[in-house]
Structure 1
Amino acid sequence: MDSLLALAVDPAAWAALVTLVVMEIVLGIDNLIFISILSNRLPEAQRARTQRIGLLLALVMRLLLLSTVAWIAKLTTVAFTLFEHGFSWRDLILIAGGLFLVWKATSEIREHVIPDDELTAKAGSTVQLTVAAAIGQIIVLDIVFSVDSIITAVGMTEHLPIMFIAVIVSILVMLFAAQPLARFIDRNPTIVMLALSFLLVIGMTLIADGFGSHVPKAYIYAAMAFSAFVESMNMLARRAKLKRVASHAE
């Protein structure tokens, strides 16, 4: 209790908490985009529940991982060496998660590009995503992003209460943002392709990180922000054009 009170009055602890909350939210954007795109393939009545389940599972996983910080720290130690390069269990998790994300983003892009009638003709019938399948895919990505998130948190502070609070606050923020983001993506088809492209880039970044080629996340998020800005300008231009066409028609 005394240690908690000491943290509560320590300005450095508050600064670490704010920094870590922001970092956890930024790292959680990838997970949130994936959950939003995946849930939008479900019937509308099941989307919000699937989003909540996915994010609550992410919260549970991160809290469980935080309770095993000593074990998490061991994930960064070299497990074996291949072609004179040492691989840790964290590297293997990132590579597997990156491959899954690349496969998933590529298959989703394919389904959005190829017309529905062609997909039906090739597959015989369209495959409807189920809630169980969606949650299963969300769990796979939750594991990858949770490990990366917790290792980042451990590297930023040594105080477990700060880590627990930061994780809980970041997940709560994402819970509030999940439905508006999913609705926005669903209403704007071009945003879907942009978001899938983001996931493809993130997947390649995870694979590169797993092989020891670290790409600063600031570069990735800056590129994503610039692409989102350009697309928002295009959306405004399209809306202005539609208004002009409608006014001339009247």
Structure 2
Amino acid sequence: MEWLAGHFEFVSNPEAWVALFTLVVLEIVLGIDNLIFISILTNKLPKEQQKNARRLGIGAALILRLALLGTISIIVQLTDPVFEAFGHGFSWRDLILIAGGLFLVWKATKEIHHSVDPVDQKDTMMGKVNMTLGAAIFQILLLDLVFSIDSIITAVGMTDEIAIMFIAVISAVTVMLLAAEPLSRFIDKNPTVVMLALGFLLMIGMTLIADGFGFHVPKGYIYAAMGFSALVEGLNMLARRKRERDAKSQSTLH
């Protein structure tokens, strides 16, 4: 009990509460990337499997993050260089980020190519065919691992309190779980949003690769660009709905 109480001494420290709030917000923001990928990928599955796939994918993200927090001393060592090339010391974290970024770029590029090619619509995120539950979960787990390691290293850089890290991770994944269904329905009902989300994934993949090579891109720039793009798409959607209502009104009058 004394060991457990020792981890919650931060409750009497106002600075620790600020760190907790900041880290929770940051973890939620970092989880957006993961959630977009999960939402688009699971929408390819049959309707009856989509909800379970999303829950399994997000549940796996929580388990991975908590397990990585349990081995935090090892995770911290992942930032130590293991070899040097092109004048940059590469760590295991760098290699994982590069591999994850390449996977995201490949996946997003493939889906963008198929979505703009009307000749072949099979095996795309736009079409709900040729995707099994096992394949979806496997791909989600790959990206869960990449985002989880990045998330934990971010948490370690902000606070030394393990309890704060656990609370922030659990809070972020809970928000992901609550937002998964509405986001997936929104993407499913608005096909043009899929292309925008694929563009986000492409940008995120390139950012992961750049980070792995030592070129850090501030997350604020990325999410500001995503937010502006989403705002523009939202205005386009409102304009399309207005045109549809006007067209219906005209047809009714005639």
* TM-score range for the pair, normalised by the shorter chain length: over 0.9
Match of residue 17 from structure 1: 20
The alignment's C-alpha RMSD in Å is 1.3
The residue that corresponds to 1:247 in the other structure is 249
In the TM superposition, residue 7 of structure 1 has moved relative to its aligned partner by 1.6
Return the offset for 1:127: 5.8
Secondary structure, in 3 states, of the residue corresponding to 1:241?
A: helix
Confirm whether residue 47 of structure 1 aligns to residue 47 of structure 2. no
Deviation, structure 1 residue 3: 2.4
* Secondary structure, aligned partner of 1:118: coil
Q: Secondary structure at the match of 1:96?
A: helix
1:123 equivalent in structure 2 = none
Q: How many residues align?
A: 244
Q: Using the alignment, how far apart are the partners of 1:218 and 1:56 within structure 2?
A: 27
Task: Report the AA paired with residue 166 of structure 2.
Answer: F
1:160-239 aligned within 5 A: 160-239=162-241
Query: How many Å apart are 1:199 and its aligned residue?
Result: 0.1
Deviations along 1:186-238, whole A, 9 cap, x unmatched? 10011000000000000000001101111111000000000000000000011
Extract unaligned runs of 5+ from structure 2: 123-127
Three-state SS of the structure 2 residue aligned to 1:79 is strand
CA distance in 2, matches of 1:127, 1:225: 30
Name the SS for the 1:81 alignment partner.
Answer: strand
In the TM superposition, what is the alpha-carbon distance from 1:5 to its structure 2 partner?
4.6
Q: Choose the corresponding residue for 1:101, options 85, 99, 104.
A: 104
SS in 2 for 1:12: helix
* Separation of aligned partners in 1, 2:209 and 2:11: 39
Alpha carbons 2:34, 2:143 under 8 Å: kept: yes
Which runs of no fewer than 5 residues in structure 1 stay unpaired? 121-125
Task: Classify 1:136/1:239 alpha carbon distance in 2 versus 1 (closer, same or farther; 3 Å).
Answer: same
- Cα-to-partner distance string for 1:126-155 (whole Å, 9 max, x where unaligned): 961000000000000001000000000000
Separation (CA, whole Å) in 2 of partners of 1:118 and 1:19:
45
Give the 3-state SS of the residue equivalent to 2:160 in structure 1: coil
Distance 2:74 2:7 in 1: 24
Distance 2:160 2:8 in 1: 16
Work out the CA distance in 2 between the residues paired with 1:232 and 1:83: 43
Percent of aligned pairs sharing the same letter: 62
In structure 2, distance between residues paired with 1:43 and 1:134: 11
Q: What TM-score comes out, normalization by structure 2 length?
A: 0.93
Mapped to 2, the partners of 1:176 and 1:5 lie a distance apart of 27
